[in-house]
């Protein structure tokens, strides 16, 4: 019988036991979500600049745009959850691990918070990032700053898509999302000149996907830079996304 072949995947530490092969692999899906958000945003942009009749609805455009925004919001939450889970598991504390720069007291505080909140289920994504800073002895996030406001708005947009509820909207109605989002990015170029309500026909667009990625990365990068840590998504991005850039 042929032995199973091990395929080493960057960013997933593994171990082998003596006498038989026993693989222990640790995935960090925040990196996959970020790659997805970036790649789908690129596809949305290509669709909006392609020649063709205007205005027009494009199913692929709508699906790629929604999926990109969802992936950006999910990256923002997964990236911080992975750090807390590493602390809870005592993983990556030495040998250039993701938490190696943090003090034992900070890691212990992170593990305690993760246990007390049932693996973060009682926290919203921004609260997780705020707790991460507090556990490491840093100032809280300024929830009134543009960076935190955009990140919170991204999570609200992600939740509106993930928990979507159909509703009747007239063309001249101002949707709640329109009040918060309109003007932050360019509208959907495929729907220019249409009389459709702004959300989602005009608002769910390449501009929205780019804004979502920027907002997610801005907050995540701000916190990890302040803490001096270099998590999985930063390392994989710096290494060229393992051969296929989004």
pLDDT of residue 102: 98
Residue 19's pLDDT band (cuts 50, 70, 90): low
Report the alpha-carbon distance of residue 84 to residue 128 in Å, rounded.
9
Q: What is the pTM of this model?
A: 0.90
Q: For 71-101, give one letter per residue: b (16+ CB within 10 A) or e.
A: bbbbbbbbbbbbbbbbbbeeebbeeeebbee
Is the pLDDT at 1 greater than 80? The verdict is no
The whole-number average pLDDT for the span 133-149 is 95
Is the pLDDT at 40 greater than 70? The verdict is yes
């Amino acid at each position: 019988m042929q032995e199973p072949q091990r395929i080493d995947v960057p960013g997933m530490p593994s171990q082998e036991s003596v006498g038989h092969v026993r693989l222990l692999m640790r995935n960090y899906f925040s990196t996959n979500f970020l790659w997805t958000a970036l790649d789908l945003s690129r596809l949305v942009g290509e669709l909006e600049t392609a020649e063709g009749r205007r205005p027009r609805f494009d199913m692929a455009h709508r699906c790629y745009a929604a999926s990109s925004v969802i992936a950006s919001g999910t990256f923002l939450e997964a990236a911080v959850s992975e750090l807390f889970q590493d602390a809870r598991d005592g993983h990556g504390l030495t040998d250039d691990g993701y938490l190696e720069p943090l003090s034992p007291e900070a890691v212990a505080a992170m593990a305690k918070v993760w246990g007390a909140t049932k693996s973060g289920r009682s926290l919203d994504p921004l609260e997780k990032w705020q707790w991460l800073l507090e556990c490491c002895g840093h100032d809280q996030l300024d929830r009134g700053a543009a960076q935190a406001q955009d990140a919170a708005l991204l999570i609200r947009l992600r939740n509106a898509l993930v928990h979507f509820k159909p509703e009747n909207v007239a063309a001249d109605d101002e949707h709640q999302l329109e009040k918060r989002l309109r003007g932050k990015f360019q509208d959907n170029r495929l729907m220019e000149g249409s009389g459709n309500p702004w959300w989602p026909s005009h608002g769910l667009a390449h501009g929205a996907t780019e804004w979502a990625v920027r907002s997610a990365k801005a907050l995540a990068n701000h916190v990890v830079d302040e803490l001096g840590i270099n998590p999985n998504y930063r390392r994989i991005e710096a290494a060229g996304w393992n051969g296929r850039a989004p």
